[in-house]
């Protein structure tokens, strides 16, 4: 996937991982979404979660289903967020959440296609 956020830190914990990300203000995904109030599109957030799930756990690359996807607050240019990834490798699922110390921005569960 192109135009990823900057990875600041990675913590692999018991059964899940946390990625500290800097969402650069000049990231191309902000262009045109929206003209006077740029926000990171929801599809990009899902794409970033799927990208890191594939890179870190070998899930995907294709997503079959999305469940309980919620966009609670907009991610703005220049944001620093933590992406929490909780994989269930046997079920080929991933629970993700974008958050910071104060807020949850978005979350959901992704079901990945079976490995070829």
- Please report, for the chain, the start and end positions of each structural domain, with discontinuous segments joined by +: 6-112
pLDDT digits (tens, 9 = 90+) for 38-53: 999 999 999 999 999 9
Confidence at residue 116, expressed as pLDDT on a 0 to 100 scale:
66
In angstroms, rounded to a whole number, what is the distance separating the alpha carbons of residues 106 and 68? 10
In angstroms, rounded to a whole number, what is the distance separating the alpha carbons of residues 84 and 75? 15
Using DSSP's 3-state secondary structure scheme, residue 14 falls into coil
Single out the residue of 27, 19, 24, 5 nearest to residue 82, CA to CA.
19
- The dihedral through the CA atoms of 28, 29, 30, 32 has a sign that is positive
Range with the poorest average pLDDT among 28-32, 44-48, 63-67, 94-98:
28-32
Tell me the percentage of the chain whose pLDDT exceeds 90. Answer: 87
Sequence-distant (≥ 6) Cβ neighbours of residue 93 within 8 angstroms: 87, 109, 110, 111, 112
Tell me the mean pLDDT in the region 94-112: 97
- pTM score: 0.93
CATH topology of domain 6-112: Thiol Ester Dehydrase; Chain A (3.10.129)
């Amino acid at each position: 996937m192109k135009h990823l956020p900057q990875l600041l830190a990675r913590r692999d914990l018991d059964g899940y991982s946390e990625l500290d990300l800097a969402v650069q203000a000049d990231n191309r995904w902000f262009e045109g979404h929206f003209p006077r109030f740029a926000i990171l599109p929801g599809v990009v957030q899902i794409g970033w979660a799927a990208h890191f799930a594939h890179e870190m756990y070998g899930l995907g690359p294709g997503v079959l289903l999305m469940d309980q996807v919620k966009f609670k607050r907009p991610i703005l240019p220049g944001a620093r967020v933590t992406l929490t990834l909780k994989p269930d490798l046997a079920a080929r699922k991933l629970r993700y959440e974008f958050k910071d110390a104060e807020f949850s921005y978005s979350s959901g569960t992704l079901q990945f296609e079976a490995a070829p």
